[in-house]
Amino acid sequence: MSEPNWLVFQLPEIMAKLDPGATRFQEILRTPSLSCSIYHIPAGSKEMQSAHEEDELYLVLEGRARLRVEEEDHRVEKGTMMYVHTACDHAFFDIEEDLTVLAFFGTPVRQLAGLGD
């Protein structure tokens, strides 16, 4: 059976499945060139993220926190979009209100270089 050419996602349905008291990272889409996940971090949590092999684009759906990218800190809140380049160290911290973001990931660098998985 072939993969569909398009999919529709309803954010209220996806967000209704999140446990507000738990850190959760749930992939909702994966193709050879793109993936998308919803990431939920409760207020006061310690998020320990690190550099990835993919470019990333985050869209904050709910909450307030700070994002450190290498040596710079940025305030993030509902409606903030952030791009993080491949291999940049980054992490969310000072999570004031439960933070929920959509995280879009590009093709891993090793795949672009033809190195496979």
Q: Is the pLDDT of residue 64 over 80?
A: yes
pLDDT, averaged across the chain: 86
Pick the closest to residue 90 from 98, 101, 112, 34 (CA basis): 101
Q: Which two tokens stand for residue 87?
A: 């291999």
- CATH number given to 11-112: 2.60.120.10
Give residue 73's pLDDT band: very low, low, confident or very high (50, 70, 90). Answer: very high
Residue carrying the six token digits 């270089």 = 113
Domains of the chain: which residue ranges? 11-112
Task: Give the pLDDT of residue 22.
Answer: 84
Q: Is the pLDDT of residue 112 over 90?
A: no
Distance CA 106, CA 83 (A): 11
Q: Using CB atoms within 10 A of its CB, is residue 38 exposed (0-12), middle (13-18) or buried (19+)?
A: buried
User: What mean pLDDT is predicted for residues 60-85?
Assistant: 94
Task: Give the pLDDT of residue 50.
Answer: 66
Q: Using a pLDDT cut of 70, give the percent of the chain over it.
A: 85
pLDDT in tens, 9-51: 999 998 888 888 888 888 999 988 899 999 999 999 876 666 6
User: pLDDT: is 112 or 54 the higher one?
Assistant: 54
User: pLDDT: is 88 or 59 the higher one?
Assistant: 59
Let me know: does 15 contact 5? Beta carbons within 8 Å: no
